[in-house]
Structure formats: structure tokens, C-alpha cells
Amino acid sequence: MLYYTLKRLLLAIVVAITVSFVTFMLLRLSGDPAMALAGENATPKEIELIRQQYGLDRPIIIQYVNWARRALGGDFGESPYFNQPVKKIIGGRLATTMTLGGCALAFAICLAVPMGVLASIRPNTWIDRVALTISVLGQAMPSFFFGLILIIIFGVMLRWLPISGSSTWRHFILPAIALGYYATPAIMRLTRSGMLEVLASDYIRTARAKGLKAGVVLFKHALRNAIIPVVSLLAVQFGFMLGGSLVIETIFAINGVGFLGYESISRADLPMVQAIVLLVSMFYVVLTFFSDLLNAFLDPRIRVT
């Protein structure tokens, strides 16, 4: 088990380094950062000044190494927009985004897993069809459109919930639903198909032949096996939510990292953008790592390999 963990850890580290390198390159090479920073009306001389000031005239590899070295220590440079260290600005917003992501995931699980289980024990009945229909419709609507609809219905027409800002817990309800519903179909389908497969397996037949009660068979035996791939999916979906929170935060004016990312991109605040992209990527890497570990922990068969 230890060996397995170390192997995955090493892989995670290498991937993290590569991702940081790739994203750094992408951003630096997509355009001239100096021009973007200087603004539209800058003269060539001003651009050149900025280039030197930010060390953008050095070879790209050196730039990356310098940036990476500082990033490891938590120093992502200073935001030309805020005139403050990037670290400080992001730090303040991180908790908000994590909360939003967590709520969204919780919503998705509470909706998707029971639906999936229900659909699997009554396949091809109306329950199954309703669940599948909801999942199909859910995946067809873009999250930003769904968010806007939620705002119109619950915020404006019914006036039940606030639609902007992130001051109280109520402010998180609509955004969490808008962010979480997109993961619901995937989770529900995986639960359903996993349960269907598991329910047809020999050890479930054994459990029934032992006379175990239906609930025990369903939850202790079936779900325990079927949920293993779902847990891995959950970890990955959480990562997507962190990345996709950008759109939702922007619509609902939630002061999180996603909204900050969007604004920074519009302002060409390069140090900030780089830091945010790196941060989210690192989360993905960490989450994938944990998802692998969870998989091994939940399935005794994997621990041996």
C-alpha cells in the first residue's frame, strides 16, 4: 500500500511540474505580455520598459524557472492591478470558492446517488425513465444559462433567494445548485450502471441466498461495491467544479477565485492569471491523487498491485 502511494505521489509531482510549465508557456506565448500589461495606447518605448521591468526580455526557460522557484515559496509576484502581492489577494478568496465547490458537490451527491440507486433497482420503469430524463436534460443545459434561469425564477419572480454577492449562507444556495447540477447526471449514471452491474453479480446472489434482508443486500453489499468508481468520479468532479466555478461566480458575483480569474484575464493581470491557473491545476493534481488513494482504500483488490 505504501509503495502504491509513493508511486502515485511521484507521478502527481511530475504532472504538477509539467502542468505548471505548460500553462506558463501557453500564457507567455499566447501574446506579448508586455504589450498586454502596457495597455493599448502605450508607445514602443513604454512597452520595452515594462518588458525589462518584469524580466520579460530574458529567455523563456529562465523566466519559467524564476517564476517556478518563487511560486514554490508562495511568492507569485505582485498584481499590477491591485498593486499588492498576488498571494494575499487569492488567499482571501480561496475559502469562498472552496465553500461553493463543497456545497455544489454535496448537492450533486444528495440528488444523484439516491436517484441512481432507485433507478437501478427498478430498471426500465417510470422511476428509471424519470431519473434518466432529468440527467439527460441536466447535461444539455449550459451552466451559465441554468444559473440565469435560476436567478430569474427564484431570485426575481419568487424572490426566495438572493442573487448576488456572497455574504450569507443563503447566497450560496442558487450558485451551488447551478454549479452542482451539471455533475449530477454523470454521478447518477455511474451509480446506476455500477449498481446494475453489481446487482447482477454472483456475490449478490450469494447474499440473497443467505437470506439477508433486501436493505442489507442493497446497501451493505451492492452499493459498497458500486460506489467505488463513483468516489473517484466525485474527486474529479470536485476539481471540475473548482475550474468551472469561474462562470457561476461571475454570474452570481461571488467573490471567489474564479471570479477573480475572470476579471484578471480581462485586465491582462498576468501574474494573477498565472497564479490562479497554477493553483487550480494543482488542486486537480492533488484531487486525482487522493481519488486514486481512495480507490485503493475502498477496493481491497487494488491494494495488492
Partner 1 sequence: MVEQAIGEIKEIEFPSPGQILRQRTLSHKGFMIGAIVLILIFAMALLAPVLSPHDPYHQELSKRMINPIWHADGTWEHPLGTDNLGRDYLSRLMYGARISLLIGVSAMVISGIIGIFLGVIAGYFGGRVDMFVSFLITTRLSMPVVLVALAVVALVGGSLNVIIWVLGLLIWDRFAVVMRSSTQQLRSIDYVNAAKAIGCSTTRILLTEVMPNILNSLIVIATLEIAHAILLEAALSFLGMGIQPPLPSWGLMISEGKEFMLFSPWIITIPGVVLSLLILSINLMGDGIRDITAPEGRS
Partner 2 sequence: MSILLEVQGLHVEIPLAAGILKAVRNVSFSVVRGKTHALVGESGCGKSLTALAIMNLLPQSAIRCCERLSFDGQDLASTNERHMADIRGNKIAMIFQEPMTSLNPCYTIGNQMQEALLRHRRVTRKEALDRAVFLLEKVGITAAESRLKQYPHQLSGGLRQRVMIAMGLMCGPPLIIADEPTTALDVTIQAQILSLLKDLQEEFDMGMILITHDLGIVARVADRVSVMYCGQVVETGDVTQIFENPLHPYTQGLMDCIPIPGKTQPGEHLGSIPGMVPTPIGDMTGCIFRNRCSFVSKACAESGVALQEISTGRTYQCLLSPEVCAQNLRGGVSI
Residues that bind partner 2 (CB under 8 A): 201-203, 205-214, 216, 221, 224-225, 298-301, 304
CB of 5 to partner 2, least distance (A): 19
Residue 158, interface with partner 1 (CB under 8 A)?
no
Stretch that binds partner 1, among 26-34, 52-60, 77-85, 104-112 (CB under 8 A): 26-34
Report 285-304 residues binding partner 1 (CB under 8 A).
Answer: 285, 288
Tell the residue number behind the cell numbers 433497482, with chain if given: 121
Residue 204, interface with partner 1 (CB under 8 A)?
no
**Torsion angle of the four alpha carbons 206, 208, 213, 219, in this order, in degrees rounded to the nearest 10:** 60
Binding mask 254-273 for partner 1 (x = CB under 8 A): -------xx--xx-x----x
A 10 A CB-CB count for 96 gives 21
Stretch that binds partner 1, among 51-59, 193-201, 218-226, 295-303 (CB under 8 A): 193-201
Taking alpha carbons only, the member of 281, 269, 271 closest to residue 240 is: 281
Tell the residue number behind the cell numbers 502581492, with chain if given: 85
For the record, the C-alpha cell of 69 comes out as 522557484
Strand-pair partners of 85: 78
304 interface partner picked from partner 2, partner 1, none, CB below 5 to 8 A per type: partner 2
For the record, the C-alpha cell of 80 comes out as 499590477
For residue 145, the surrounding DSSP H or E stretch is helix 143-150
**DSSP 3-state assignment of 212?**
coil
Residue 102, interface with partner 1 (CB under 8 A)?
no
Contact 66, 49 (CB under 8 A): no
Query: Which residues lie near partner 1 (CB under 8 A)?
Result: 11, 14-16, 18-19, 22-23, 26-27, 30-31, 36, 123-124, 136-137, 139-145, 148-149, 152, 156, 193, 196-197, 236, 239, 242-244, 246-247, 250, 261-262, 265-266, 268, 273, 276-277, 280-281, 284-285, 288
